[in-house]
Amino acid sequence: MRSTKQVHHGNMPGLFEGRAGRVYDLVARRLLRGVYARFAEDLADAAPHGGSVLDVGTGPGVLLAEVARRRPDLRLTGVDLSADMAALAECNLRPYGERARAGQGDVTALPFPDDAFDLVVSSFSMHHWDDVEAAVPEIARVLRPGGRLYVYDFRSAPFDTVVAAARARSLLEGAPARRLLIRTGVPLLPRYARHVMTASS
């Protein structure tokens, strides 16, 4: 029987810098494109018309590019702790002009004002966060009332830590949290979990 124990791997910046970062960019744009396309369909359905979306741990920005193709009305922003990843994301988002941008940023100290986004998303990033508990109030701070957090990650990622941190601070309680296991269709990544939380109105 497979363990459901939650795992936190912590930040590994070497995986996302220099040549390793360029390899990751290639993998994300080629091998995992279909997975990001599934996420993008989900987000395209969820985001309000003319809304603002923040992708935390955006990597090379592949998810935002997929969302941009589907929803030209949205304003899209990506942040990543790695300067190299943020630069790759900026390059990959260039075809979408001013409506899709990326820069360097830490999920525990997001460089945005309060109530800045209608939707915050994280894909395969949360299991690397060094301080998941500190990330929760920052995400809640930048979400507008009624805005939603979508987290896509491995089933072993620390989803329960996010829920506990939110509950302890009475945050992201606008609707019951929802978690769903979804098949990817990719042999190396057969399933992932999608977790949705909503900011209070």
Instruction: Return mean pLDDT, the chain.
Output: 86
Q: Cα 1 to chain center, whole Å?
A: 29
Strand partners, 54: 77, 120
Strands 117-123, 100-104: parallel, antiparallel or unpaired by DSSP?
unpaired
Per-domain residue ranges for the chain?
33-199
Neighbours of 145 (CB within 10 A): 11
- Reported as a single tens digit per residue, the pLDDT across 28-61 is 445 566 788 889 999 999 999 999 999 999 988 9
Where is mean pLDDT largest: 25-29, 82-86, 105-109?
105-109
Task: Report phi then psi at 148, rounded to 5.
Answer: -125, 150
Q: Which two tokens stand for residue 12?
A: 């590994």
Q: Which fold has domain 33-199?
A: Rossmann fold (3.40.50)
CB 162 within 8 A of CB 136: yes
- Reported as a single tens digit per residue, the pLDDT across 173-182 is 999 999 998 8
- CA pair distance 78, 176, nearest whole angstrom: 26
Percent with pLDDT over 70 in the chain: 81
Higher pLDDT among residues 74 and 22, named by residue:
74
Higher pLDDT among residues 10 and 52, named by residue:
52
CB 35 within 8 A of CB 26: no
